[in-house]
Structure 1
Amino acid sequence: MNTPINVSTLNTQIKSLLETTFIQVYVEGEVSNLTYHNSGHIYFSIKDQSSTISCVMFRGNTKYLKFQLEVGQKITITGNITVYAPRGNYQLLCNKIEPSGQGALALAYEQLKTKLENKGYFEQTRKRILPKYPKKIVLVTSATGAAIEDMKKVALHRWPLVEFILIPTLVQGEGAAYDISNSIKYADTLNADVIIAGRGGGSIEDLWAFNEEIVANAIYEAKTPIISAVGHEVDYLISDFVADVRAATPSNAIEIALPDINEHRMYLDTLVNDYDNLLKRILFNKEQDVINLKRLFEQNSMENKFKFIESEIKLLKSSFQSNLSQKMTNSRNEIEILRKTFDNSYSQIILKLQNNVDLLKNNYELNHPDKKDKNGFVQISKDNKLISLDNIQIGDIVSLQSPKYIATCVINNLKKQ
């Protein structure tokens, strides 16, 4: 009869069997029951349609995990089976975890980008404006890389007046993110105008330090404007989104940060020309103003006023004399016309009077009473008016007048012959 073994022995045998049989497994499943422990270990399970298995990733391996595990996420695990003998539980000990169907770095990038965007790290309203003429720029980059030499060359030709402070920084590999973060924090204390953090091109792994959250936090918390200048034009890093300005390359960062001295030289030439033209125009206008004022003063001087009044008096005198002469001439002409008219009229009147006098004289002579005194002839009058016998009626009282006598008669009889 076999001797029974105790539980600990059985669990130990099972542990030895499983751990030697499943030294390395590669398994795919969906994350569930996820716990990030304070110790730094990660406890979770993976499952498929019908089964589940417990998993653990210890802190020593979690530092290589580039992305954040999430419940429901499908992943692939490289690891081995281990047994916790005191409880008789077996679990999958994870050495490496990758997102299923997607690269770990790509997923970590998207996860961190979404997280920081939700926290407002990318808001345009918080981004600072770069100074137009920076006096001091701090460079957070490698002291031995090609990027620093490129930046120096561009600065020398573009704006040699600026002062550069280089903080030699580890920009790739283990600990690069912490070094970049610390360099940015230190640069923020140097009272600089601009901080440029970056490096030259490389693979996504080489540039990855600028995708770390610790670097994003340092950029976000800095008080000094920061330009992110990492890699090439096609490379977009988390630091690019958090920084105040993104530059395509380190050289481009210098072009963005510094003004172009040649443009300013041309601008100064333009200002000088504009100033000269403006000054000439102002002087010309002032000269014209002085000339006009002088002319106006001369026009309104006492001498000119007296001359004007004198000319007015002369003009009035001349006009008066001319008008007087004209009026006198006109009056003479009128008088002459009147005289001629009067002479003609007087002559005619005299002639008419003479004719009338002659006529009256003739009539008088013809009608003189002495000549009318003929026997048998008298004048008949009625009411002191001469009338003829044709106008006399029976009963009329008439007067019969001769040169010597007047007889009053009453008509008693009247006959026609």
Structure 2
Amino acid sequence: MNKAISVSTLNVQIKSLLETTFIQVYVEGEISNLTYHNSGHIYFSIKDESSTLSCVMFKGNTKYLKFQLENGQKVVINGNITVYAPRGNYQLLCNKIEPSGQGALAFAFEQLKNKLEAKGYFDGNYKQPLPKYPKKIALVTSPTGAAIEDMKKVANHRWPLVEFILVPTLVQGEGAAFDIANSIKYADKLHCDIMIVGRGGGSIEDLWAFNEEIVAIAIHEARTPIISAVGHEVDYMISDFVADIRAATPSNAVEIALPDINEHRMYLDSLSNEYINRLKNILFNKQQELSNMKRLFEQNSIETKFNYIQTEINLLKSSFKTDLSQKILSSLNELNLLKNSMKNSFSAIFVKSQNQIDLLKSNFELNHPDKKDKNGFVQISKDNKIISLSDLSIGDEIDLQTPKYIASCILKEIKKQ
């Protein structure tokens, strides 16, 4: 007769047999009875049409889990069989869990995307417009990556007046998502006009920090308009959907944020040309108007009419040698006086008109943009508005401006002469 063994001995033997036989197994099934324990461990079962298997994933392995487990999900588990000897229970100790039929990262991306979309994080009502002429931009990115240099080059070429504030940030690896979220919160307190959050290209694992919920929440809650610029044009992150603007690359983000200085130079040139052409047209029209008046006067002048009358009178004088001729001569003298008076009046009118034209020409030349730059004369402006020196106070920030230069100053003293 065989010698009996204790329950504990049998359980230990079963444990040794199972744990050495099923060292690494892959099991596919549907999740049920899911429990996220306060300790950080995850307890659940997987089942198929006929059987159920208890599973556990300890806290040390849960940090590698990229998606949220849910009841009813079909998954593939990599793990080993373990036995809890005191109770004689065996379970599957999970080392890695993947969604059945697709990668964990892709599934996690869609899972978080759907969650945030349902909360309204992608709603256009939350999107803020970008200012047209930003003065200060916060860059939440790595200080050592190529992206920061690319953004600086684009800014120097496009709009060198802007000021960049770099917020050094860990953009990949463990703890990157937490660091990005904290950097966004810090940059939001700097009162910048725009914030650019991103990094250069890399693998999906390298870029994954921008797909974390903590980063999405930080972007959504920020008051500063944010441009998400992660990876290359084909890379779409959760941050792209939550941000106010999505840029294909970090360089593209700077192009979106800044105006083109060359376009503004051409626009100013066109304004100058339009101003000059309009003044030339005004002067030309005045000259034409004066010429037309002179021609009309010559055609209908009193002198012409007097000459006609003079001719008639001469005919009468030669025909009549009576007292009537004396009266005609008297009338002729009166007409001559009237003629001279009218001529003098019209001459005065023409002189006045010519003086007005000369004054217009003089004002045009004096106010030409190329002649405004005089030594010792500047235009004073405050908050982009022209202001008189008498309206300023000590401590005011003002700009002293000529057509070619702008000097920013702080007023230290005012003396009245």
Q: Tell me if TM exceeds 0.5.
A: yes
Paired residues, number: 297
Structure with the greater alpha carbon radius of gyration = 1
Deviation track 1:219-269 (CA, whole Å, cap 9, x = no partner) reads 111110000001111111111000000000110000000000000000111
For residue 4 of structure 1, report the CA deviation from its aligned partner.
3.9
Aligned-partner SS, 1:274: helix
- Tell me, in whole angstroms, the C-alpha distance in 2 between the residues paired with 1:86 and 1:274: 94
Aligned-partner SS, 1:208: helix
Aligned-partner SS, 1:248: coil
Match of 2:257 in 1: 257
For residue 2 of structure 1, report the CA deviation from its aligned partner.
5.1
Deviation track 1:118-170 (CA, whole Å, cap 9, x = no partner) reads 01110111100000000000111111111111111000000000000111211
- Tell me, in whole angstroms, the C-alpha distance in 2 between the residues paired with 1:186 and 1:103: 34
- Tell me, in whole angstroms, the C-alpha distance in 2 between the residues paired with 1:192 and 1:147: 20
- Tell me, in whole angstroms, the C-alpha distance in 1 between the residues paired with 2:114 and 2:235: 18
AA aligned to 2:150 is: D
Match of 1:22 in 2: 22
Structure-2 change in CA distance of 1:213 and 1:282 (3 Å): farther
Deviation track 1:88-122 (CA, whole Å, cap 9, x = no partner) reads 21110100001111011100010010011001110
Match of 1:156 in 2: 156
Aligned-partner SS, 1:19: helix
Aligned-partner SS, 1:77: strand
- Tell me, in whole angstroms, the C-alpha distance in 1 between the residues paired with 2:43 and 2:279: 81
- Tell me, in whole angstroms, the C-alpha distance in 1 between the residues paired with 2:60 and 2:5: 36
AA aligned to 1:40 is: G
- Tell me, in whole angstroms, the C-alpha distance in 2 between the residues paired with 1:281 and 1:73: 78
Aligned-partner SS, 1:254: helix
Aligned-partner SS, 1:239: helix
1:273 aligns with 2:302: no
Aligned-partner SS, 1:161: coil
Match of 2:198 in 1: 198
For residue 8 of structure 1, report the CA deviation from its aligned partner.
3.1
1:41 aligns with 2:17: no
Match of 2:138 in 1: 138
Q: Percent identity?
A: 82
Aligned-partner SS, 1:171: coil
Match of 2:32 in 1: 32
Aligned-partner SS, 2:121: coil
Q: Superposed, which structure 2 residues align to 1:331-346 within 5 Å?
A: none
Q: Superposed, which structure 2 residues align to 1:24-103 within 5 Å?
A: 24-103=24-103
Deviation track 1:17-49 (CA, whole Å, cap 9, x = no partner) reads 222221211111111111122222111111111
For residue 16 of structure 1, report the CA deviation from its aligned partner.
2.4
Aligned-partner SS, 2:259: coil
1:177 aligns with 2:194: no
AA aligned to 2:173 is: G
Match of 1:390 in 2: none
- Tell me, in whole angstroms, the C-alpha distance in 2 between the residues paired with 1:275 and 1:239: 47
- Tell me, in whole angstroms, the C-alpha distance in 1 between the residues paired with 2:259 and 2:38: 50
- Tell me, in whole angstroms, the C-alpha distance in 2 between the residues paired with 1:240 and 1:256: 14
Structure-2 change in CA distance of 1:51 and 1:130 (3 Å): same
- Tell me, in whole angstroms, the C-alpha distance in 1 between the residues paired with 2:279 and 2:132: 29
- Tell me, in whole angstroms, the C-alpha distance in 2 between the residues paired with 1:279 and 1:73: 77
For residue 53 of structure 1, report the CA deviation from its aligned partner.
0.1
Aligned-partner SS, 1:236: coil
AA aligned to 1:37 is: H
- Tell me, in whole angstroms, the C-alpha distance in 2 between the residues paired with 1:2 and 1:98: 47
Match of 2:387 in 1: none
Match of 2:232 in 1: 232
- Tell me, in whole angstroms, the C-alpha distance in 2 between the residues paired with 1:155 and 1:234: 23
- Tell me, in whole angstroms, the C-alpha distance in 2 between the residues paired with 1:224 and 1:282: 48
- Tell me, in whole angstroms, the C-alpha distance in 1 between the residues paired with 2:47 and 2:278: 82
Aligned-partner SS, 1:173: coil
Match of 1:208 in 2: 208
Aligned-partner SS, 1:87: coil
- Tell me, in whole angstroms, the C-alpha distance in 1 between the residues paired with 2:275 and 2:40: 70
Match of 1:244 in 2: 244
For residue 86 of structure 1, report the CA deviation from its aligned partner.
2.7
For residue 277 of structure 1, report the CA deviation from its aligned partner.
3.4
Structure 1 range deviating more: 269-278 or 237-246? 269-278
1:122 aligns with 2:122: yes
For residue 280 of structure 1, report the CA deviation from its aligned partner.
4.8
Aligned-partner SS, 2:50: coil
For residue 191 of structure 1, report the CA deviation from its aligned partner.
0.7
Aligned Cα root-mean-square deviation (Å): 2.5
Q: Superposed, which structure 2 residues align to 1:359-370 within 5 Å?
A: none
- Tell me, in whole angstroms, the C-alpha distance in 2 between the residues paired with 1:47 and 1:17: 23
AA aligned to 1:157 is: H
Deviation track 1:264-283 (CA, whole Å, cap 9, x = no partner) reads 00011112222333445567
Aligned-partner SS, 2:173: coil
Give the TM-score normalised by the residue count of structure 1.
Answer: 0.67
Give the TM-score normalised by the residue count of structure 2.
Answer: 0.67
Aligned-partner SS, 1:106: helix
